[in-house]
């Protein structure tokens, strides 16, 4: 049968890429590309052909980029070949040192719009005028892995935001977790050394499941609140688009009258929270190690711009003094139920980078980058980060002039007497390069006490000593609060993660020491982990302070804060030749109406011919498009096609993995033989949705809005019966 037409393999709502909104006024780069290249903005190529001519770095036109200069066709290469020399020279030096942590990252451009003024609390311009738009750049990252590691490592995610404000650059250098492992920056090198690959063997990479990390953690009681977050599904997110961001530390807002208010910063994803399962993450890393990068790129390219609301927790000194913990302790959070998060603006990522290195790799975030109206608290970890982040830019970017790079350059006027250094693209003009000077208006910039940054005059009087405050000594109360705030399935996943990680630890004494901390957090969890390791339950670790029974905080649960639709999620539609065209059309129509993404999976990448003769291209070949890449799947083979699939191992894996990962599965009228061969019981639960007729499509998409059918896991997982969650 001749094909009637060729349909696309997949579709996103707004299939034609939407144009990104224009940047706000004043957001143009401070120098043109030509100026950055050092030619003063003049264009020497005047014809269309010349504009396309390859040149050297010096602008010399290149006649032949295929062959080096030789003495005869088979003779030696000549030393005078300056074009070869320059090309190889640049290639030899095109790598810069990767970040010590957060090496694997991905970024995008965007805009921040203020929706609720904080002028009462801060004189920062970016927080003052409702409706004002500010250019932004955001970089997401893993922490422990190297640049070439995979996206779905169990790891903290960096969430760093650079706002190019009218008063200078403001960096909120945060994570997707609101607390940290340590309280003092003195321990940061030790933490990073412990979690990175072990130095004698250079593995495992991008993993904490090894002796060194758990040795450090088991000897560091302050780390255990963060350990609970790390072992939760927060560290295997579905997408960069479905993570929260936190500034971690307490900062200050300072208003025009000089009054200070403490603040914690939050980024709330409008896409809702979502993570994957550990077994799923492992398989995604094999199928697509760039899964998070691809997801963010495709969402922005399709016009489905990710958004986060900026929220603040505001409190004064009296409130801080009343808290049952020290707000300067970076291992603690303030529950949202205690101090609500006030939404003040929206961040929209609307433009992908046009060169990864120039933007994402060269962007330099520094916690010290604040603007008038924002100031630091006395958090000792924050003070250490302020020192470290600036210092590392010289090592990575090679010059104190890293702010001259377009991605780091402020979008407001810059005027000072800092000069020279490697790769200086601007220097003071005129005779004066110092201050104070008596050269009058030609003497350059002057300090401005009226609008300039002024540190909040906090009272400080004490003795110099190396000591940790007693108010930092409660290490387990919030760890327990986090655990009891999780839903049963989430609690089970924490227990599973701890058993997995500690099973990779070779020394039994380290395993036992880790479990001893769990006894101070939750006895049932400790018993579950000890049983999973075949370990006698050890005595509880000694605690500096007793563990408090703090009330649950629903805001800490991923499942309690998920999306309410399938918008922006991806459906895998498994077709064969002869699949039902009317059903396919109805399903894709329902997905388009939901704002979801769909991709066709087929036995061959060339696609299939439906029962009405319509040709449909495939986006994925079955052995290259496993179900782990999708949020839900629909299996719609023909009667003849399913007989072939039932003998195919990747096809059986497709449905068995979707089943094991608790996904909603749309089951076509002819699909049962494939499920039977894969030993997937269709009658087990309501996560299987019949797709016999076109009218069934809408109900299936509506069911997918909850993303996973979690009751299935507690029925089929061998560990569920002994789990604390069960």
Active-site residue numbers? 102, 175
Give the burial class of 658: count Cβ atoms within 10 A of its Cβ; 0-12 exposed, 13-18 middle, 19 or more buried.
buried
Tell me the C-alpha distance between 552 and 631, whole Å: 29
Q: Report CA-CA distances (Å) from 664 to 293, 308, 630, 684.
A: 25, 27, 10, 12
112 and 78 Cβ atoms separated by less than 8 Å: no
Gyration radius (Cα) of the chain, Å: 29
Q: What is the SS3 assignment for 344? A: strand
Q: What is the SS3 assignment for 204? A: coil
Tell me the C-alpha distance between 711 and 112, whole Å: 39
What per-residue string of b and e applies to 385-422 under the rule 16 or more CB within 10 Å gives b? Answer: bbebbbebbeeebeebbbbbbebbbebeeeeeeeeeee
Tell me the C-alpha distance between 333 and 267, whole Å: 15
540 and 519 Cβ atoms separated by less than 8 Å: yes
Q: What is the SS3 assignment for 488? A: helix
> What phi, psi does 70 have (nearest 5°)?
-125, 160
Q: Taking every pair of C-alpha atoms in the chain, what is the biggest distance, in angstroms? A: 91
What per-residue string of b and e applies to 608-625 under the rule 16 or more CB within 10 Å gives b? Answer: bbbeeebbbebbbebeeb
Residue 495's CB is within 10 A of a number of other CB atoms, namely: 27
701 and 681 Cβ atoms separated by less than 8 Å: no
Tell me the C-alpha distance between 351 and 370, whole Å: 24
Tell me the C-alpha distance between 670 and 666, whole Å: 12
Bridge partners of 111, per DSSP, are 135, 348
Q: Which residue shows structure tokens 């005059």?
A: 457
221 and 475 Cβ atoms separated by less than 8 Å: yes
Would you say how long the chain is, in residues?
A: 726
Q: Measured between alpha carbons, how far apart are the two ends of the chain, in Å?
A: 54
Q: What is the SS3 assignment for 164? A: strand
Tell me the C-alpha distance between 513 and 652, whole Å: 42
670 and 690 Cβ atoms separated by less than 8 Å: no
Residue 302's CB is within 10 A of a number of other CB atoms, namely: 18
Tell me the C-alpha distance between 665 and 637, whole Å: 13
Q: What is the SS3 assignment for 241? A: helix
Q: Which residue shows structure tokens 């894969």?
A: 678
Retrieve residue 207's tokens: 């993993």
Residue 517's CB is within 10 A of a number of other CB atoms, namely: 23
DSSP 358: I
Residue 710's CB is within 10 A of a number of other CB atoms, namely: 16
Q: What is the SS3 assignment for 601? A: strand
């Amino acid at each position: 049968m001749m094909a009637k037409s060729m349909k696309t393999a997949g579709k996103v709502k707004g299939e034609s890429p939407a144009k990104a909104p224009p940047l706000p006024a004043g957001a143009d780069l401070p120098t043109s590309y030509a100026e950055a290249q050092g030619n003063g903005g003049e264009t020497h190529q005047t014809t269309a052909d010349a504009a396309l001519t390859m040149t050297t770095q010096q602008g010399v036109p290149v006649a032949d980029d295929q062959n080096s200069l030789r003495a005869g066709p088979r003779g030696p290469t000549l030393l005078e070949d300056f074009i070869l020399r320059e090309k190889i020279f640049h290639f030899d030096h095109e790598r810069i040192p990767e970040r010590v942590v957060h090496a694997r990252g991905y970024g995008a451009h965007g805009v921040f719009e203020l929706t609720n003024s904080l002028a009462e609390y801060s004189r920062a311009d970016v927080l003052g005028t409702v409706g004002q738009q500010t250019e932004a750049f955001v970089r997401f990252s893993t922490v422990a892995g190297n640049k070439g590691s995979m996206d779905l490592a169990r790891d903290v995610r960096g969430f760093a935001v650079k706002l190019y404000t009218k008063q200078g650059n403001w960096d909120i250098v945060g994570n997707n977790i609101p607390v940290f492992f340590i309280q003092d920056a003195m321990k940061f090198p030790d933490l990073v050394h412990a979690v990175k690959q072990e130095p004698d063997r250079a593995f495992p990479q991008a993993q904490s499941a090894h002796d060194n990390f758990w040795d450090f953690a088991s000897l560091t009681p302050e780390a255990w609140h963060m350990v609970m977050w790390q072992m939760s599904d927060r560290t295997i997110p579905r997408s960069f688009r479905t993570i929260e961001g936190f500034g971690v530390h307490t900062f200050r807002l300072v208003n025009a009258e000089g009054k200070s208010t403490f603040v914690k910063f939050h980024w709330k994803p409008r896409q809702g929270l979502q993570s994957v399962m550990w077994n799923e993450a492992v398989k995604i890393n094999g199928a697509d190690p760039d899964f998070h990068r691809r997801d963010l790129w495709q969402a922005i390219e399709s016009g489905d711009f990710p958004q986060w609301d900026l929220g603040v927790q505001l409190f004064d000194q009296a409130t801080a003094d009343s808290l049952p913990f020290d707000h300067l302790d970076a291992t603690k959070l303030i529950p949202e139920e205690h101090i609500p998060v006030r939404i003040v603006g929206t961040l929209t990522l609307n433009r992908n980078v046009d060169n990864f290195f120039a933007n994402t790799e060269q962007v330099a975030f520094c916690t010290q980058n604040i603007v008038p109206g924002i100031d630091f608290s006395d958090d000792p970890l924050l003070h250490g980060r302020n020192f470290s982040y600036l210092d590392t830019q010289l090592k990575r970017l090679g010059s104190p002039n890293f702010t001259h790079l377009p991605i780091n350059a402020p979008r407001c006027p810059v005027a000072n007497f800092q000069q020279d250094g490697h790769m200086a693209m601007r220097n003071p003009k005129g005779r004066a390069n110092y201050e104070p000077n008596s050269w009058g208006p030609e003497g350059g910039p002057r300090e401005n006490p009226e609008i300039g940054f002024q540190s909040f005059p906090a009272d400080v009087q004490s003795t110099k000593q190396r000591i940790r405050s007693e108010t930092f000594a409660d290490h387990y109360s919030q760890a327990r609060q986090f655990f009891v705030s999780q839903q049963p399935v989430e609690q089970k996943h924490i227990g599973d993660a701890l058993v997995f990680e500690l099973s990779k630890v070779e020394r039994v004494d380290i395993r036992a020491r880790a479990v001893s901390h769990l006894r101070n957090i939750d006895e049932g969890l400790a018993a579950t982990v000890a049983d999973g390791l075949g370990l006698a339950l050890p005595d509880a670790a000694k605690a500096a302070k007793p563990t408090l029974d703090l009330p649950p905080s629903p805001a800490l649960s991923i499942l309690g804060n998920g999306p309410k639709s399938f918008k922006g999620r991806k459906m895998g539609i498994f077709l064969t030749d002869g699949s039902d065209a009317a059903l396919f059309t109805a399903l894709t129509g329902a997905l388009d109406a939901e704002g979801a993404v769909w991709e066709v999976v087929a036995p061959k990448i060339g696609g299939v011919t439906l029962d009405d003769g319509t040709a449909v291209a495939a986006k994925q070949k079955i052995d290259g498009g496993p179900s782990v890449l999708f949020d839900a799947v629909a299996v719609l083979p023909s009667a003849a096609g399913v007989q072939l699939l039932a003998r195919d191992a990747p096809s059986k894996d497709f449905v068995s993995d979707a089943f094991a990962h608790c996904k909603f599965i749309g089951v076509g009228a002819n699909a049962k033989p494939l499920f039977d061969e894969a030993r997937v019981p269709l009658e087990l639960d309501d996560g299987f949705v019949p797709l016999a007729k076109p009218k069934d499509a809408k109900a299936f998409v509506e069911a997918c809005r909850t993303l996973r059918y979690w009751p299935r896991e507690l029925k089929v997982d061998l560990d569920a019966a002994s789990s604390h969650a069960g």
